[in-house]
Structure formats: C-alpha cells, structure tokens
Amino acid sequence: MRWKNLRRSRNVEDRRGMSAGRGSSRGAGPRGTGMGRGVKVGGGGMLLLLLAGLFLGQDLTGLVSGGPGLTQTQSQSPRSGSNNLPANDDAAQFVSAIMATTEDVWTPLFQQAGKQYQPPKLVLFNDGVRSACGFTSSAAGPFYCPGDYQAYIDLDFFDELQRMGAGGDFAGAYVLAHEVGHHVQNLLGVSMSVQRRQRQVSKVESNALSVRAELQADCYAGVWAHHAHKQMQLLEPGDLEEGMNAAAQIGDDVLMKNAGRRVRPESFTHGSAKQRQEWLYIGLKTGDPNQCDTFNSNT
C-alpha cells in the first residue's frame, strides 16, 4: 500500500501505557458479545480467544444511552506526519493514515446520500481498555463500540495477524476499514435495529443476524478500498490478494477448523471464509454501499 505520504487523521487517541482500570470498572456496562472476553488464558486458548474475537467489531449488546460526543471529533486533519503520534511509530502512523482515508471516502459517500458523516475516533491501547462496552482485553482483538462511537485497537494485533497467516499492510487496513464499517452501520441505525431484533429471537437466529451485520461491515470495507484506491491510488500489486486471504483466514469455518473444533454453521457469528471473501469483493468491485444489503441476501 502507498500510505506514507497520505495525510494523517487527528481522530486517533493514544491511550497506550495507560491503565485501563479494570478494577474500577463501573460494572454497569453491557457485556460484549465476544466469547470469554477479558478472561486470561494461555497458549492455544489465548489464540482461540483472539481468533474468536477477531473482527468482533460491533458489540451488538453494547448500545448504551448517552450522546456520542461527536462534536469532539474533528474531520479536519493535518498533513502527513503532523499528528500527535510519534513520527517514528510506523504502526501508529499507519493506522492514522488509514483512518484519514476512511474519512475521505465516507464523507462524500454520505454527502451523496444526503447525510453527514461524523468520523469515529480510533483509540490505541495496550492489554485492555474500558469503553462504553465495558472492559475489553486485547485478546478479543480490535472492536467497535456503538455506545461511544469509537473503535479500539491494540497495535500488537498486527503481529497476531501475521502469525495466523493474514499478514500484510492491506490486511491490517481491512481490519480498520471493517471496524469503520461498523461505525457506518451505527450512524445509519443498522446496529440499533439489529440489536433490537436479536433480543427477540433465538440464539441461532441471533447468530445469523450477527453474521449479516459482520458481512455488511466486510462489504463496507471493500467499498472503502474501492474509493481509497480511486482517490489516492492506495493499492499496490498483491494488496487485494492480501485482503482476500485475510478475509478467508478469519472466516468462522477456518477459525473453528484451525482450533480443532467441529465446524458448526449455526454458531457462526461472522460468516464463513467464502462469505467474507464474497462480500469484501462485492464492496471492492462496486464501490456502492447500496450493494451491501447483506440482510436481504442469501450470499
């Protein structure tokens, strides 16, 4: 990816090195949808948790009352390198550049639909973090919390992606764009309506709704890549392959197989490798968010 000369986002908050205050948690926050979030396990269990939480993103139980505080975010961003993150911190600069591209892509797309895009903030953290969705351990992977309109990532996650065979800068950018996809869903009211429907149905049906929401976030990530490349010539040869490979590696069936578990489609929450690839591709190919209606599709 060609990202070094791109402008940086100012909507990145660096909370690395700060205590997440697990002990002082209010305890009133809604729990995440992730399996075993915040539970300390070792070895393979840790990897399993990470994989399970990978792309967990939208915390569908995490909608809480209270304003989004959108006025605090800024859509005007500085030029390359002029954010408040360490200039030699490549991973932090990378996510700041990618977040800026998501702002530059979604702002006009919302305008075309007669709406206004409010960019999310991305919070960098180590080990664990508190959000409107409660306490979340790094092991759960990057996530988006609809309750505070913010995405969260421990940058060590990029090393984990590498270890699980989903490395490459575009794979990392896809992770971020997927979380921003959940933000788009939140702004459009999709998150709220999915959560409402999930409360009324069985576990199996609730999982199926989760899959639809996750696949839509994948499709939105594809929409981002389409326009980011069009506007900024972001992609280099091999990037698309990296993205498609990452989408496959984090498919529920592949994760279950790799964890030595039986593949049970009814317990999928994010979609199969094939589905994730297909929806990422639909977004990539069309660049049209209206093509991302996963809720009315059997794909």
Q: Which residues bind Zn ion (CB under 5 A)?
A: 55, 57, 214, 217
Cβ atoms of 12 and 99 within 8 Å: the answer is: yes
Residue 16, CA distances (Å) to 13, 144, 152, 276 in order? 9, 17, 11, 31
Please identify, using beta-carbon distances, which residue of 6 and 284 lies nearer to Zn ion: 284
**CB 170, min distance to Zn ion, A:** 17
Please identify, using beta-carbon distances, which residue of 121 and 183 lies nearer to Zn ion: 183
**CB 100, min distance to Zn ion, A:** 21
Cβ atoms of 254 and 277 within 8 Å: the answer is: no
Nearest-CB residue for Zn ion: 57
Spatial CA neighbour of 151 closest among 249, 251, 220:
220
Please identify, using beta-carbon distances, which residue of 7 and 55 lies nearer to Zn ion: 55
**CB 16, min distance to Zn ion, A:** 22
Please identify, using beta-carbon distances, which residue of 83 and 277 lies nearer to Zn ion: 277
The set of long-range contacts for 200-203, using a CB threshold of 8 Å and a minimum separation of 24, is none
First to last CA, the chain: 29
Give the list of residues 6+ apart from residue 4 with CB closer than 8 angstroms, or none: 80, 93, 97
Q: How many helices (H) and strands (E) does the chain have?
A: 9, 7
**CB 58, min distance to Zn ion, A:** 5
Please identify, using beta-carbon distances, which residue of 56 and 155 lies nearer to Zn ion: 56
Query: How are beta strands 121-124 and 12-14 bridged, if at all?
Result: parallel
Please identify, using beta-carbon distances, which residue of 57 and 168 lies nearer to Zn ion: 57
**CB 182, min distance to Zn ion, A:** 6
